[in-house]
Amino acid sequence: MARIDYYFATVSPYTYLAGTRLEEIAARHGLGIVYKPLDILALFDRTGGIRPADRHQSRKDYRLQELRRQARKAGLPLNLQPAFWPANPAPSSYAVIAAQAAVDKGEAAGDLGALVHGFCRACWAEERDIADDSVVREVLAAAGFDPALADRGLLLGAETYARNLDEAANRGVFGAPFYITEGDERFWGRTGLTISTRTWRAGSDAHRRTGGDCRSLAGVWRRRPPGSGAALFAGARQRLVRGGGAAGRGRDGDRARPARPWPKRRLGRGG
């Protein structure tokens, strides 16, 4: 089974706004997900990012506006100034790691996607402290896991949490959420889950490979061979230049129209 390595932070608002879209795509296309919670602030320090508290005020203001817009687009409630942020992400991250280990061993049948989203929602929409043991237990139970997982595997959680950070920095991860396929294709942010329909339709080969689901990166991940991304986009660009694909279709997408020629440049007498 093809898989996606999913790097995220339980205190990240953008992880929250991504919702469970990744899980929906994975279920539709038979993809596996490996959940890799990490310390996002430490990742910023390692990869040249700036912690939110240390950013210029103009960047802080823009961040809040963008979060508000994305929350409205995603249809998710969001507190721009949550009561418990930044919370210590370690306890909730350890719980996710313990839950994934239990699922891998066949000892649990809870919903890992719901667990991750539950922690993010608790922080960004429900004004709950995800560093609090009682909150961790409640979120585990709500996702179908044994609340006692909060007390088990603490050593495994600490080791894996630190390893996820090292691995992420070495693999080119610089933010959250971040997705890496087996072919080392990397996608960042909630918008990394979708791509312009017009761009993919411009490459008819890509359109066939995705079975018509052009917006789903998962469809591309699963069906096209690793390393073919450059060739795919090159083909799309050539079609656009020649007037084929999206640029050469009528409004209904069925009739081709001639490509518009480049305007001739008129030069003055001075050359």
Domain count, the chain: 2
Same domain, 139 and 200: no
Give a yes or no: residue 187 inside a domain.
no
The 10s digit of each residue's pLDDT in 72-116 is 999 999 999 999 998 999 999 999 999 999 999 999 999 999 999
User: Are 6 and 35 in contact, with CB atoms under 8 Å apart?
Assistant: yes
pLDDT of residue 215: 42
By CB atoms closer than 10 A (0-12, 13-18, 19+), residue 182 is: middle
Give a yes or no: residue 265 inside a domain.
no
pLDDT of residue 160: 97
Give a yes or no: residue 128 inside a domain.
yes
pLDDT of residue 218: 45
What range does the domain containing 221 cover? Answer: 195-248
Same domain, 165 and 97: yes
Give a yes or no: residue 225 inside a domain.
yes
Same domain, 133 and 221: no
pLDDT of residue 258: 44
Same domain, 153 and 73: yes
Give a yes or no: residue 83 inside a domain.
yes
User: Are 92 and 10 in contact, with CB atoms under 8 Å apart?
Assistant: yes
- How would DSSP label each residue in 120-131? HHHHHTS---TT
The domain boundary, picked from 181, 214, 231, lies at: 181
Same domain, 139 and 171: yes
> Which CATH number does the domain housing residue 10 bear?
3.40.30.10
The domain boundary, picked from 181, 212, 227, lies at: 181
Give a yes or no: residue 255 inside a domain.
no
With a cut of 70, list the residues of the chain below it in pLDDT.
191-271
User: Are 180 and 171 in contact, with CB atoms under 8 Å apart?
Assistant: yes
